Structure 1
Amino acid sequence: MKALVISNPSSGTSETMLGEVVATVESLYDEIHIQKTLAEGDAARLAQASKSYDHLLVIGGDGTLHEVVNGLMHLAKDERPSIGLIPGGTCNDFARALGLPVEPIEAARIIKMNHTESVDVMRINERFGLNFVGVGLIADASRQIDPIQKETLGSIGYFLATIRQFRELDPFNVRIERDGDIVHDGAVSFLYIGNGAYLGTVPTKLPTQSFNDGLVEVVHSSAIGFPMIRQLLAQQLGLEQSSDEWVHLQMSDLTIRLEEPQLIDVDGEHFTTDELHIDVLPNELAFFVPTHETV
Structure 2
Amino acid sequence: MNEGLGRTLVIANPAAHSGDGAAAAERVKRFFSSHANATDGFELRLTQAPGDGMRMARVSADFDTIVALGGDGIIHEVANGLMSVASRERPALAVVPVGSGNDFARTIGAATNDPIAALGQILRGRRRELDLGHVASDTGESGYFVQTLSFGLDAAIALDTTYRRAAQTRQKGSGLFATSGVKILSKVRGEASGYPSRVTMDGEKDVRLNSIVFAVQNGPTYGGGFRICPDAEPYDGSLDLCYNVSVPALPHVLALFALARTGRHVGSRAIATRRVRHLHIEFLEREPPCQVDGEPLHGRTYDVEVRPRSLALIAPAQ
CA 240–150 in structure 1, closer or farther in 2 if over 3 Å, else same: farther
* CA deviation map 1:235-292 (0-9, x unaligned): 5353642121101111011101111222210000002210110010101112222212
**Aligned pairs for 1:180-219 within 5 A:** 180-204=203-227, 206-219=229-242
* Structure 2 residue aligned with 1:9: 14
CA 185–239 in structure 1, closer or farther in 2 if over 3 Å, else same: farther
* Distance in 2 of aligned mates of 1:15 and 1:241: 39
* CA deviation map 1:55-82 (0-9, x unaligned): 1111111111111111111112221111
* Distance in 1 of aligned mates of 2:260 and 2:77: 32
Task: Give 1:13 deviation, angstroms.
Answer: 3.9
Deviates further, 13-22 or 254-263? 13-22
* Distance in 2 of aligned mates of 1:281 and 1:14: 30
CA contact (8 A) 1:122 1:281 kept: yes
Task: Supply the AA of the counterpart residue of 1:17.
Answer: A
Deviates further, 16-25 or 112-121? 16-25
* Structure 1 residue aligned with 2:293: 267
Matched, 1:135 2:151: yes
CA 235–284 in structure 1, closer or farther in 2 if over 3 Å, else same: closer
Task: Give 1:149 deviation, angstroms.
Answer: 7.6
* Distance in 1 of aligned mates of 2:168 and 2:194: 26
* Distance in 1 of aligned mates of 2:44 and 2:212: 44
CA contact (8 A) 1:91 1:154 kept: yes
* Distance in 2 of aligned mates of 1:114 and 1:144: 34
Task: Give 1:38 deviation, angstroms.
Answer: 0.9
Deviates further, 276-285 or 193-202? 193-202
Give the percent of matched residue pairs that are identical in Structure 1 and Structure 2: 24
* Structure 1 residue aligned with 2:127: 116
What SS is found at the alignment partner of 2:122? helix
CA 239–49 in structure 1, closer or farther in 2 if over 3 Å, else same: farther
* Structure 1 residue aligned with 2:255: 230
Aligned residues: 292
Task: Give 1:111 deviation, angstroms.
Answer: 1.6
Find 1:38's aligned residue among 45, 48, 52.
48
What SS is found at the alignment partner of 2:170? helix
* Distance in 2 of aligned mates of 1:150 and 1:163: 19
Task: Supply the AA of the counterpart residue of 1:217.
Answer: D
* Distance in 1 of aligned mates of 2:88 and 2:249: 46
RMSD: 1.9
What SS is found at the alignment partner of 1:9? coil
Deviates further, 161-170 or 126-135? 161-170
CA contact (8 A) 1:115 1:290 kept: yes
What SS is found at the alignment partner of 1:273? coil
* Distance in 1 of aligned mates of 2:288 and 2:257: 23
Task: Supply the AA of the counterpart residue of 2:134.
Answer: R
What SS is found at the alignment partner of 2:57? helix
Matched, 1:154 2:165: no
* CA deviation map 1:186-233 (0-9, x unaligned): 212111000012211224164531101111111111334111222332
* Distance in 1 of aligned mates of 2:154 and 2:50: 23
Task: Give 1:128 deviation, angstroms.
Answer: 0.8
What SS is found at the alignment partner of 1:160? helix
* Structure 2 residue aligned with 1:52: 62
* CA deviation map 1:28-50 (0-9, x unaligned): 12311111111111100100111
**TM-score of the superposed pair, with normalisation by structure 1:** 0.92
* Distance in 2 of aligned mates of 1:180 and 1:284: 23
* Distance in 2 of aligned mates of 1:150 and 1:249: 37
Runs of 5+ unmatched residues, structure 2: 1-5, 137-141
CA 202–289 in structure 1, closer or farther in 2 if over 3 Å, else same: same
**Aligned pairs for 1:70-81 within 5 A:** 70-81=80-91
* CA deviation map 1:163-207 (0-9, x unaligned): 221233421111110243335302121110000122112241645
Matched, 1:88 2:98: yes
